[in-house]
Structure 1
């Protein structure tokens, strides 16, 4: 197959070369609001059963987010872990989760449909705003909706657990709760169809030291699982199936970048101080 040149938004610097790993997120389930008609709760007992399922899913979701928050504190620090802590708080927001229960009671919607419809409604509202920061918060809403739906179907497996070698992840999008679980020793970079420079996913990628490109659009469709990828997170450039000479050139640049980073590490623990002894807070 031919070499493919993909341009996106570089959000976490670094050059990486590895095989592509196509990741299919479960987030698409949030848009599936058409459960079978026989699942519609049309009796008091059936409504109560759906509410119990929804509350149990919320409890599981809250527990998972609390565990992920603690993991994030160790991986990227307390400040960035606040991204997931914020999702946990959202579950208790009176303008969010309680309206899902209301849809079950008043609209006779099954729990998955109630979640999907509420998530779609809130995310669409954010995406319609004339503010890039607020638009990108829609991804956080869809993330928590995806987790709630997964908790309603606990038998599903997670698509990130099968990674056993260094890869570059290729996805439509990565949720913050996905990103914080990435092992930088294995997932050394990622490229996504959507996303922006101020997204929580971009922030976490920088904290983890994972080279990343977002907003690459339909260009990701040309990447196949196992393709060799060159990822330049600084330039926002991804090359699929590069020529050997080109790949070798990027390997040299990658090694130079690694050596530069290692040389800077010795300064990381030193106090920020000018030559004349003035301390600077960073």
Structure 2
């Protein structure tokens, strides 16, 4: 049996042994699979704006429900992470820019979301400040949720876990982390992330062992591999 050692940043204490569960979100905060390249009529623009506003309302409702769930699970202070995301939807420097792209650039709603999310997240990631860099994860989390709300049939969250596992992911959004059941997800390891990320804070609050920033080594892990975290 081949043994591989992967190193990352330990952000939540614990020693866990379980099978790997590879997690790939249904939607990515930078994705855009819209078949329409540009809107060609005022009616089409109005229709996209209506879709975008409904997605925002649905997203806000989901975040409010998650905040209530998080308050019960980890307390009001940590639940404030999700409440902050909800407030960000009303930030004049964020969501209104998506509507502006639909109106002024004639872009379909998914493309407008992906463009603004990408711009804001990249701006934060380019800052010479680790805290601000890691806030980009919150921006991409909101973008992923908005895109899921715009795409019927897509879900945002974790399903299919029936036994104890160690989650393996490129990254884990705060709104996904707070939904983890510590009885099933006993630990997780991510390719990216840092010690001060909201995901790391929530993992500690939930008592889930976690290693982040493990790099490309996680790509060699397969579903069902036995992991010692």
- Name stretches of at least 5 consecutive residues in structure 1 with no aligned partner: 232-282
Matches of 1:81 and 1:65 in 2, distance apart? 10
Matches of 2:157 and 2:78 in 1, distance apart? 24
Matches of 2:158 and 2:30 in 1, distance apart? 21
SS of the aligned residue for 1:161 comes to coil
Matches of 2:172 and 2:104 in 1, distance apart? 33
Contact 1:18 1:230 in 2 (8 A): yes
Find the structure with the greater CA-based Rg: 1
Matches of 1:55 and 1:177 in 2, distance apart? 21
CA drift at 1:157: 3.4
1:201-216 aligned within 5 A: 201-216=199-214
CA drift at 1:154: 3.1
Report what 2:185 is aligned to.
187
Report what 1:148 is aligned to.
146
With the length of structure 2 as denominator, give the TM-score of the two structures. Answer: 0.97
Matches of 1:218 and 1:64 in 2, distance apart? 32
SS of the aligned residue for 1:4 comes to coil
| CA RMSD after TM alignment | 1.2
With the length of structure 1 as denominator, give the TM-score of the two structures. Answer: 0.79
Matches of 1:63 and 1:199 in 2, distance apart? 24
1:207-226 aligned within 5 A: 207-226=205-224
Contact 1:180 1:204 in 2 (8 A): yes
Report what 1:126 is aligned to.
124
Contact 2:189 2:212 in 1 (8 A): yes
Contact 1:164 1:186 in 2 (8 A): yes
Distance change in 2, residues 1:93/1:87 (3 Å)? same
1:49-88 aligned within 5 A: 49-88=47-86
Matches of 1:80 and 1:173 in 2, distance apart? 19
2:109 is the counterpart of 1:111: yes
Report what 1:23 is aligned to.
23
CA drift at 1:127: 0.3
Contact 2:30 2:144 in 1 (8 A): no
CA drift at 1:187: 0.2
Shift >6 Å, 4+ stretches: none
- Name stretches of at least 5 consecutive residues in structure 2 with no aligned partner: none
CA drift at 1:108: 0.3
Distance change in 2, residues 1:159/1:144 (3 Å)? closer
Q: Deviations over 1:156-203 (max 9, x none)?
A: 135611101000000000000000000000000000000000000000
CA drift at 1:23: 0.2
Report what 2:34 is aligned to.
35
SS of the aligned residue for 1:191 comes to strand
